A = this chain, B = another copy of it.
Amino acid sequence: MGGTRFLQVVPVSDAVIAAVSMASLPVLEKVPLDSAAGRVLAAPVLADTDIPGFDRSVVDGYAVKAADTAGAGETIPAMLQCTGKVAMGDSGILQPIKPGECMYVPTGGPLPAGADAMVMVENTETAGDMVLVKKPVAHGENVLLSSEDFKKGEIVLPAGRKLSPQDVGVLAAAGCARVPVTKKPVVGIISTGNELVPVIKKPSPGQVRDANASMLGAFLLGYGCIPKLYGIVKDEKPAFESVVTRAVAECDVVLLSGGSSKDERDMTAGTIAGLGEVLIHGVAITPGKPTIIGRVSGKPVFGLPGHPASAYIVLIAIVRPLIDRMLGMEKPEVRTLQATLAMNIPSQRGREDYVRVKVADGIATPVFGKSGLLNTLVASDGVVCIPAGSEGLEKGSEVEVILW
C-alpha cells in the first residue's frame, strides 16, 4: 500500500508549541459596549474618573457627623437638626452640615460636605425638624466613599481578559463606550473525503453526512472566532490544492476535517507539503493520533482526524491554545471540575489519553466507545486527560475533568 505506515508521533506538548508558535499577533478593533461580552480586551481599560465620583449613601437615612452620634441609644438618642433633603442626582455642592446638624439622603445620593457617615432611617425618629438618632454610626459607615470602587486612571480591567457581563458593567462605569478588543480570528474549515455528503443530502450506502464541519464551526463561533466553511472537497489533488490555497489566503487558520484513512492522510500531508511544509505528522494523543500540523504561506494548517471524537479532542487540546494566543487571552478559558473516578481507566504509557466522562454528583464515569461515534461525545460532559507518563488511573482517584 506504499507510503509511511508508522507515523513519527510527537508528544502533545510539542504539538501545542508548534501550533502556538504560528499564532499571528492579536489585532485591535473597537466594538460597541453592547457587543463586547465574550470578546477579549486588546488593551487595558482605565477609569476616566473616580468611581463613584463622590461620597455616596448606600442607605436611606441621614447624613451626619459620626462624632455627633457617639453614645446614642434607644433611651438617650442624639438629637440633630435636619437642614434639608438631598435629591438623587444633586450636584453634591450642597450646603455643608455643621456639628449638631443632619440632612436626609436617599440611597445612592451624595453626602453633603461635612458629613462622614449615614444613619439608617430605621434607627431614627423625627420630631418636627429634629431627628432623634437611636444608634451610633462610625466614620464612613453606610457610605460608598468617593473612588472606593475605582480611582481615576486605575486599570479597571487588564488586556487579555475575556469579558463577562459584570466586566461589561465595569466598562460602562469607566465610560468605555467603544471597547478595544482583539479581532476574531477567521478559521477556515475544509471537509475532505469522497464518502462525505452535505447535511441536506440523504446519504447512499457507503456515504455519511459531514458532521464534523458543523461541529467544529459551532465550537469556533462560540469561542469567539469566525468560522468559514468551504464545503466538501473530493480527494483529488488539484481541487484540494486550489481550495487550500484559497482558504489560506482568506483565513488566519485552516482546518482540514476528515480523511482518517492512510490514503487521505497522505493526500492531506502531500498537499500541505506541496504548498508549504508539514511540521508534525502524528501526535501521541488518544484519540487523535493521525493529526497533521503544517504551515502554508506562514499560516497554520491542521489536518484533523476524521472521527468526530478525535477531531473534537484535537481541537480542544491542540488547536484551542493557538486560538487563545491569537485572541490575546491572558489565560486559557478552560472550565474544569474535580471529580472522583468511578472505575479504573487503563492507558498506554507514552501517549496522552483523553477519556470522555460523564459527571454526576462529583463522580466521573468514563463513557467508553469508538471514537467514530457521535453519541458518546454527546453523552459526555468532558474529558479526563491521562498524562503520557502514566499507565492509567485507579478507581477512586481524584481527577480534573476538562468540561466541554
Cβ of A54 under 8 Å from chain B? yes
Q: Cβ of A238: which chain B residues have Cβ within 8 Å of it?
A: none
Query: In the assembled complex, how far is the CB of residue A379 from the closest CB belonging to chain B, in whole angstroms?
Result: 10
The 0/1 profile, CB within 8 Å of B marked 1, for residues 187-230 of chain A is 00000011110011011111111111111111101100001010
Q: How far is the CA of A196 from the CA of B173 in the complex (A)?
A: 11
Q: Cβ of A210: which chain B residues have Cβ within 8 Å of it?
A: 172
Cβ of A36 under 8 Å from chain B? yes
Cβ of A68 under 8 Å from chain B? no
Q: How far is the CA of A195 from the CA of B92 in the complex (A)?
A: 11
Cβ of A81 under 8 Å from chain B? no
Of the candidates B109, B202, B206, B378, which one forms a contact with A206 in the assembled complex, judged by CB atoms under 8 Å apart? B109
Interface size class of A (residues with CB under 8 A): 35 or more
> How many copies of this chain sit in the oligomeric assembly?
2
Cβ of A90 under 8 Å from chain B? yes
Give the B-binding residues of A (Cβ under 8 A): 1, 5, 33-38, 48-49, 51-54, 56, 58, 60, 87-93, 104, 106-110, 121-122, 126, 144, 148-150, 156-157, 163-173, 175-177, 193-196, 199-200, 202-219, 221-222, 227, 229, 235, 260-264, 306-308, 312, 335, 337-338, 362, 370-375, 377-378, 404
What are 18 of the A-B contact pairs (CB < 8 Å)?
A53-B208, A54-B205, A56-B372, A88-B264, A107-B261, A108-B260, A121-B262, A144-B372, A150-B375, A157-B378, A166-B374, A167-B378, A169-B214, A169-B215, A169-B218, A170-B377, A172-B209, A177-B199
